[in-house]
């Protein structure tokens, strides 16, 4: 099972080679007809991310207009009453957009060369 969290981190704390932060779920989105409406909209996620992964997104995480995109393994953390997420991959919305733009520019610049070879 995998979970994807998209949002802003809470307080960030380093413990050895692990970064620990929290993320909060927001309002309940419009759900498909027939699904029960949850009674509580707020869920706290305790996020565990390696220092190496955090370094890639740390600067971008300070940008209030950007959002973390974290994929990881979820596990119910009964003592804290949160859902623990052990991050497997980390990026941000702006980093993803920049990567897509670089790929499309590379594809666009190589296309004319292919046509000339024919």
Q: Identify the structural domains of the chain with CATH numbers, from first to last.
A: 3-28+39-93 (2.40.50.140)
Report the Cα–Cα distance between both ends of the chain, in Å, rounded.
47
pLDDT at residue 64 is higher than 70: yes
The arithmetic mean of pLDDT across residues 78-85, rounded, is 93
The per-residue pLDDT of the chain, averaged, comes to 88
pLDDT at residue 38 is higher than 70: yes
Residues 6+ apart with CB under 8 A from 19: 12, 13, 48, 49, 50, 51, 54
Q: Write out pLDDT tens, residues 11-35.
A: 999 999 999 999 998 788 889 999 9
pLDDT at residue 88 is higher than 80: yes
Write down the pLDDT at residue 78.
92
In this predicted structure, which of 31-35, 44-48, 89-93, 109-113 has the lowest mean pLDDT? 109-113
């Amino acid at each position: 099972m995998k979970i994807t969290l998209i949002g802003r981190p809470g307080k960030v704390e380093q413990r050895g080679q692990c970064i620990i932060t929290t993320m909060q779920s927001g309002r309940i989105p419009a759900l498909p007809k027939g699904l029960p409406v949850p009674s509580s909209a707020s869920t706290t996620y305790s996020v565990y991310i390696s220092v190496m992964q955090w370094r890639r997104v740390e600067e971008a995480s300070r940008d209030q207009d950007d959002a973390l995109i974290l994929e990881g393994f979820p596990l119910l953390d009964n003592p804290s009453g949160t859902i623990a997420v052990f991050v497997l991959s980390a990026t941000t919305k702006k980093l993803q957009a920049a990567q897509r733009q670089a790929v499309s520019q590379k594809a666009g610049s190589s296309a004319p060369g292919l046509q000339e070879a024919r």
